[in-house]
Structure 1
């Protein structure tokens, strides 16, 4: 159920916008020469990176999400995980040293979240260190000191 909206979006596709086109053009060489990137960022009908207005579908991602929805963590971290071999193959293509055993032996660590309260009544929870949640919380707390910001007031600017 969690993955259903994303799977549907991957299958129906999204219209390529100018911002994505700009990013694709900047990375054209890598995107057209690395097979796993080409599979995602090159239009199979044209053999070129996606253009503005094209409908980009992500069928392979949708398939992987369906497997994760059915198998859960076992898809990547179980003895019979069906996604693990392909993931390891792709990672190896990028020079990764991760092994099957690394995934099988992985155990998540639950850490207390970084938290704050802003505007006297909004609780914010984010990733603790080494994640960047503490930086986000610092910025929110800093912004919270500016209590009288009104976008239509010239003094704000």
Structure 2
């Protein structure tokens, strides 16, 4: 879809989440706060796409100053990781506790909220709509339903996954349009929303002990040192791509992002590069 907006637009892979991000802007928040609220929602309704166990890379452009900054809040490999740890079983790099990297989403959210937030919207305000969805339920999207159906055998075999994604009434994974609740996740979001220092809670406090304990007890690598040592990276000198139509320039993050590939695709589509 192509449309014009006078002041702002929010795009995500779920309509409910885009509306939540829009409402933050209406309440006086800025693009950074809108992004946080939107992705918190995605973590609830489309957990295959986002969530507290993952991370993100962000490009922030200030139209008034022309300044571009990038934020790397991607997951990081635990200190106990080795180059050959998955050589004998590559499936372990995708499934199970050994596949888990150090979660970074919350650290990134708190970092950009404090550094780039408008100061007009409270931290807890960004969580409220997503907590409500998690506690009271939301309709399962076609995308989530497809992912659940595709991985049903794995979900049924893993107790913690089964508890969340299997409908007790049918004994099968949730289908499109079913109402799903994620009350435990909602309670976790409540604790983070109301914390004076959410990063301390999640990365050094009681949550860190719970997270690291479960992972290491099940053969994973992420421990409390990994959580306590995580840092979000802010790059003041991002990559700049030139040679685009209309003398346009694109700014974006360096690897591990795919910015270089993305801008090349745009250039090819615009006809400025042939292949």
TM-score (structure 1 length as normaliser): 0.71
Check if 1:20 corresponds to 2:144: yes
Q: 1:20 deviation in Å?
A: 2.8
- Please give the residue correspondences for 1:91-130 in structure 2 after superposition, counting only pairs within 5 Å: 91-92=215-216, 95-112=219-236, 113-114=238-239, 126-130=252-256
- Please give the residue correspondences for 1:127-138 in structure 2 after superposition, counting only pairs within 5 Å: 127-138=253-264
Q: 1:97 deviation in Å?
A: 0.8
How many residue pairs are counted as aligned between the two chains? 144
Q: Distance in 2 between matches of 1:122 and 1:42?
A: 49
Q: Distance in 1 between matches of 2:218 and 2:250?
A: 36
Q: CA, structure 1 residues 144+8, in 2 after alignment: closer, same or farther (shift >3 Å)?
A: farther
Structure of higher RCO (CA pairs closer than 8 Å, 6+ residues apart) = 2
Q: 1:126 deviation in Å?
A: 4.3
Instruction: Tell whether the 8 Å contact from 1:15 to 1:54 is kept in structure 2 after alignment.
Output: yes
Cα displacement string for residues 27-73 of structure 1 (whole angstroms, at most 9, x for unaligned residues) = 11111111221122112333321123210112122112222222321
Describe the SS at the equivalent of 2:163. helix
Radius of gyration: which is bigger?
1
- Please give the residue correspondences for 1:58-77 in structure 2 after superposition, counting only pairs within 5 Å: 58-71=182-195, 72-77=198-203
Which moved further from structure 2: 54-63 or 113-122? 113-122
Q: Which runs of 5+ in 1 are unaligned?
A: 147-157
Check if 1:139 corresponds to 2:265: yes
Describe the SS at the equivalent of 2:172. coil
Q: Distance in 2 between matches of 1:122 and 1:2?
A: 34
Instruction: Tell whether the 8 Å contact from 1:64 to 1:83 is kept in structure 2 after alignment.
Output: no
Aligned to 2:129: 5
Q: Which runs of 5+ in 2 are unaligned?
A: 1-124
Q: Distance in 2 between matches of 1:75 and 1:121?
A: 47
TM-score (structure 2 length as normaliser): 0.44
RMSD across aligned C-alpha pairs, in angstroms?
2.9
